[in-house]
């Protein structure tokens, strides 16, 4: 089984400032990791994913995340945020193992990023 902890429920920042949204996970098997974004009253959209290879992954809208196996973390970063980045961000994990574990994505509780002018 997997679990995900998003360490901050809310992160307020000013426009053009850098931001980091923190995510830690636990799992008894190797994992795939994801960040999704949700704008108000909408579904979730994939920002980026880590499957294997380079631990630094780049996503849409200028976001990137770094997989740190020793710290079991997958923090999301953006060097300069815009007002339009205001949304809720979810970290998620799925197990690499077979038997259907790949089919169940476990989500964190979300981090609300608010970008102020």
CB 25 within 8 A of CB 33: yes
* Residue from 46, 114, 63, 64 nearest 84 by CA: 114
The verdict on 82 binding other proteins (CB under 8 A) reads no
Least Å distance, CB 79 to other proteins, is 25
The verdict on 109 binding other proteins (CB under 8 A) reads yes
Please report where in the chains the tokens 């996503």 appear, as a residue: 59
The verdict on 94 binding other proteins (CB under 8 A) reads yes
Structure token digits, residue 20: 């980091």
> Which backbone phi and psi does 30 adopt, to 5 degrees?
-65, 155
By rule CB under 8 A, what string of x and - marks binding of each residue 31-70 to other proteins? -x-x-x----xxxxxx--x-x-------------------
The verdict on 3 binding other proteins (CB under 8 A) reads no
Binding residues for other proteins, total number by CB under 8 A: 25
- 55 Cβ neighbours under 8 A, 6+ residues apart: 66, 67, 68, 69
Interacting residues with other proteins (CB under 8 A): 9, 32, 34, 36, 41-46, 49, 51, 90, 92, 94-95, 100, 102-105, 107-110
């Amino acid at each position: 089984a997997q679990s995900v902890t998003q360490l901050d429920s809310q992160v307020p920042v000013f426009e053009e400032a850098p931001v980091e949204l923190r995510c830690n996970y636990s799992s008894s098997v190797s994992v795939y990791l994801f960040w999704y974004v949700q704008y108000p009253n909408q579904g979730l959209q994939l920002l980026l994913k880590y499957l294997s290879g380079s631990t630094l992954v780049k996503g849409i809208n200028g976001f990137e995340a770094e997989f740190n196996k020793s710290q079991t973390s997958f923090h999301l970063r953006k060097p300069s945020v815009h007002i339009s980045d205001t949304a809720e961000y979810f970290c998620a994990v799925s197990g690499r193992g077979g038997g259907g574990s790949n089919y169940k994505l476990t989500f964190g509780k979300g981090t609300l990023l608010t970008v102020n002018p």
